[in-house]
């Protein structure tokens, strides 16, 4: 449903359309997913979120696939259904194989497990890890 | 402190020592970090956790550095101080540069931000993202 | 569905009805939302939760709208779909405009982002912040 | 430190003292832990939290030890250091052995792991589980 | 839907079937729930998760019902809908009454509340709670 | 400690100094807190985070105090010690009284409690709350 509905391209203001156009051009696609249409009710958030995402997800010291994999692992940790669905699609498009997905989920599950063992057992940081 | 204290190698039972030995041999190091010494109070958990971690973190479809990066991103998401310190050390040892760290944290921060925008705006999954 | 089903007013015990009546009188409405009907299976929890909520959400040093805004921001952080839907309705009724919603979500998103940057970079508390 | 400092018994208002007295009488102890002294700055929260906790933690369909174990498992899940320390002490006092602690942490770790596998793999609820 | 679909017994590899057979034999049931069918795409994760779960959930210092109750409390804390549904079913099968459920949820709710009061008020650990 | 140490003004690059200068000018203060000095190792993240925060926290449909209160409530929910300390300071500077703090924490605690009751009881969204 989305709290205030979705803003389709046709009904969008020039400001919102400019962001939609840049999303489609950057990603080389011809449609906009619901996330952007939902937050378009707040053009400042739409623009800032897109500009940040574009800057963060582009190739750098980490390649785009690794970045999508991190995004997916965190979305699973936070239990965000939409984010898992959309970033699974994005990661596959960037080259994620089923084997990679299996391994990333195994790491994500294990990290969530040991994070709690550490907390529950009240483990203190080893001197060697302090830098 | 650790809830029941730390079990040092010298005082460890043969069962616990066997795990400690395997950790040191596998990682090619000569010391055991506090996490293992704390959970050694429950030898079943010590063995199972180590066997799982060893299996999960070895090279596969994803390389060890990528796996450490995922581990670190999740530990930051969960706010586990010990885990952040120990996996930052592990990731650096596996080749993580400061630039990679900066980018992984940027992705982790952004994922945590958009996960909440999605929830708050009640965004529904696009048909195209299903399956 | 709700784990044990919903307890409607007609089938409710006098103890449960008394709480339902107070909810409707306090909120000046003529219906009970599913949350209360679901937890009514445990009358002690129903009563305690309602009494606490009534006390906490009434006007005080913070006005009811600000309180609903906080409730909504936390529900988005926790990814609780029902809570987001019900508190968005409550916040709107209390006067939340679309602009306010956009800003509260922007703050909520940002807080979730920087909370993780702080953790990941292992930032220590400045002396000036200690009081 | 605690945001507004700790309110000691000697400096406490009669309202706060009455809660402190009830905590000590109910728990049969002669001291107050920091949590209560910190929230005593808001007497309404102090009273409501204590009354709720007293009602919830008393023997019922679940015995006090089981309740402390649940409290501890959740505190480890949320990474609340203070809560882990205080509820470990309370659980031990209620009879928790090191073996019980080991098993509760194993369950807590596993639950946190599979919760994420379920999310990441986008598993749908089986019809048989719907009731 | 599940990311890569569900692997039914008929189409499963011998390796996956062996795990399915052990799940059904151990639990004395004649069907496999969706969680296992979804993660079966990664046989290593399927086997490791099942072996760990089997070891962790069997009777020990804590009985199986207590373990299911902990699992359920954590799944509610993490907001994992599937996990809540499946572990509610498992807990009921193990003997959880509606009264027990009511009390476990009351404890879970309260723990989540006080975990945040502790954090927000910046409460420091009492000396008596150390060790 | 901070993963890569803190970058002080004196050692900062012109790019980092420009952000530090803008932070001090905008906030009318003469020092930089550790958060910025820690993330300054990644100038792109420093600049983007500051620009976003500056835009988000300025007066709009919500006043700065309300925004700081939301920030604090979320930081307590996430258990971020540094964030709680720094935003408590910021909120006080913006006019938060002890009474306001007490009420915001009461709301934050309650929201975290009912978010879990809703999940655990598997409450479905009322038709009236849709849209």
Across the interface, of F88, F99, F106, the residue whose CB is closest to D3 is F88
pLDDT of residue B131: 66
pLDDT of residue E131: 66
Q: Which residues of F touch D (CB under 8 A)?
A: 79, 88, 98-99, 101-103, 105-106, 109
**In angstroms, rounded to a whole number, what is the distance separating the alpha carbons of residues B44 and E4?**
33
Cβ contact B116–C105 (<8 Å): yes
Q: From the candidates E41, E76, E83, which should be mutated to test the interface with A, based on the most A CB atoms within 10 A?
A: E41
**In angstroms, rounded to a whole number, what is the distance separating the alpha carbons of residues E75 and E72?**
5
What subunits touch chain D, counting only 3 or more CB pairs under 8 A?
A, B, C, E, F
Contact between B3 and D75 (Cβ < 8 Å): no
pLDDT of residue F81: 97
Q: State the average pLDDT for chain E.
A: 97
Cβ contact B3–D101 (<8 Å): yes
Cβ contact D3–F101 (<8 Å): yes
- Where do the H-state alpha helices sit in chain E? 14-27, 34-39, 43-57, 64-78, 81-93, 98-120
**In angstroms, rounded to a whole number, what is the distance separating the alpha carbons of residues A38 and D49?**
38
- Where do the H-state alpha helices sit in chain B? 14-27, 34-39, 43-57, 64-78, 81-93, 98-120
**In angstroms, rounded to a whole number, what is the distance separating the alpha carbons of residues B78 and C116?**
8
Indicate the pTM of the whole model: 0.97
- Closest to A105 (Cα-Cα) out of E45, D34, B95: E45
- Where do the H-state alpha helices sit in A40-130? 43-57, 64-78, 81-93, 98-120
Q: Check pLDDT > 90 for residue A49.
A: yes
Cβ contact E108–D70 (<8 Å): yes
- Closest to D72 (Cα-Cα) out of A71, E69, A15: E69
**In angstroms, rounded to a whole number, what is the distance separating the alpha carbons of residues C10 and C27?**
20
Across the interface, of F44, F52, F131, the residue whose CB is closest to A1 is F131
pLDDT of residue F131: 66
Q: How confident is the model at residue C8 (pLDDT cuts 50, 70, 90)?
A: very high
Q: In chain F, what percentage of residues exceed pLDDT 90?
A: 98
> Which domains, ranges and CATH numbers included, belong to chain B?
1-58 (1.20.1290.10), 59-131 (1.20.1290.10)
With beta carbons under 8 A apart, name residues in chain D contacting F79. 78-80
Closest residue in D to C61 (Cα) is D42
Q: What is the per-residue pLDDT across C42-73, written as a single tens digit (0 to 9) for each?
A: 999 999 999 999 999 999 999 999 999 999 99
Q: How many CA atoms lie within 13 A of E54 on its CB side?
A: 14
**In angstroms, rounded to a whole number, what is the distance separating the alpha carbons of residues B113 and B118?**
9
**In angstroms, rounded to a whole number, what is the distance separating the alpha carbons of residues B85 and B94?**
14
Give the mean model confidence (pLDDT) for residues E27-47: 98
With beta carbons under 8 A apart, name residues in chain A contacting E48. 106
pLDDT by residue for chain B (131 residues), tens only, comes to 799 999 999 999 999 999 999 999 999 999 999 999 999 999 999 999 999 999 999 999 999 999 999 999 999 999 999 999 999 999 999 999 999 999 999 999 999 999 999 999 999 999 999 86
- Closest to D116 (Cα-Cα) out of B62, A110, A87: A110
| DSSP code, position E31 | -
pLDDT of residue F32: 98
Q: Check pLDDT > 70 for residue C109.
A: yes
pLDDT of residue E17: 98
Q: In this structure, how many other beta carbons lie within 10 angstroms of the beta carbon of residue F18?
A: 14
Give the mean model confidence (pLDDT) for residues D55-61: 98
Cβ contact B106–F41 (<8 Å): no
Contact between A115 and A123 (Cβ < 8 Å): no
Long-range contacts of A90-97 (CB under 8 A, 24+ apart): A91/A65, A94/A64, A94/A65, A94/A68, A95/A65, A96/A65, A96/A68, A96/A69, A97/B61
What subunits touch chain A, counting only 3 or more CB pairs under 8 A?
B, C, D, E, F
With beta carbons under 8 A apart, name residues in chain D contacting F105. 39, 42, 45
For F17, counting Cβ atoms within 10 Å of its Cβ (0-12 exposed, 13-18 middle, 19+ buried), the class is middle
**In angstroms, rounded to a whole number, what is the distance separating the alpha carbons of residues F88 and F68?**
8
Inter-axis angle of helices D64-78 and E64-78, nearest 10: 40
Cβ contact B106–F44 (<8 Å): yes
Q: Check pLDDT > 90 for residue C131.
A: no
Closest residue in B to E2 (Cα) is B131
Q: What is the per-residue pLDDT across F3-27, written as a single tens digit (0 to 9) for each?
A: 999 999 999 999 999 999 999 999 9
Q: Check pLDDT > 80 for residue F1.
A: no
Q: Work out whether the CA dihedral F71, F77, F78, F83 comes out positive or negative.
A: positive
Q: What is the per-residue pLDDT across F46-70, written as a single tens digit (0 to 9) for each?
A: 999 999 999 999 999 999 999 999 9
Q: ipTM greater than 0.95, yes or no?
A: yes
With beta carbons under 8 A apart, name residues in chain E contacting A102. 41-42, 44-45
CA–CA min distance A113, chain E (Å) = 12
**In angstroms, rounded to a whole number, what is the distance separating the alpha carbons of residues B90 and B66?**
11
**In angstroms, rounded to a whole number, what is the distance separating the alpha carbons of residues A70 and A90?**
12
CB within 8 Å of E14: residues ≥ 6 apart:
none
For residue F33, what are the CA distances in angstroms to C116, C118, E101?
17, 12, 46
Q: How confident is the model at residue A1 (pLDDT cuts 50, 70, 90)?
A: confident
pLDDT of residue A28: 96
CA–CA min distance C86, chain D (Å) = 23
Give the mean model confidence (pLDDT) for residues A24-30: 97
CA–CA min distance A18, chain B (Å) = 20
**In angstroms, rounded to a whole number, what is the distance separating the alpha carbons of residues E83 and F37?**
41
């Amino acid at each position: 449903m989305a709290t205030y509905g979705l803003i389709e391209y046709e009904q969008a203001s020039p400001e919102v359309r400019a962001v939609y156009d840049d999303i489609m051009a950057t990603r080389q696609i011809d449609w906009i997913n619901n996330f952007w249409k939902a937050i378009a009710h707040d053009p400042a958030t739409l623009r800032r979120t897109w500009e940040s995402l574009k800057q963060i997800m582009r190739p750098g010291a980490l390649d785009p696939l690794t970045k999508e994999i991190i995004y997916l692992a965190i979305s699973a940790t936070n239990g965000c259904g939409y984010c898992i669905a959309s970033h699974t699609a994005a990661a596959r498009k960037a080259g994620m194989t089923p084997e990679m997905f299996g391994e990333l989920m195994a790491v994500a599950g294990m990290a969530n497990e040991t994070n709690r063992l550490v907390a529950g057992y009240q483990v203190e940081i080893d001197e060697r890890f302090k830098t």
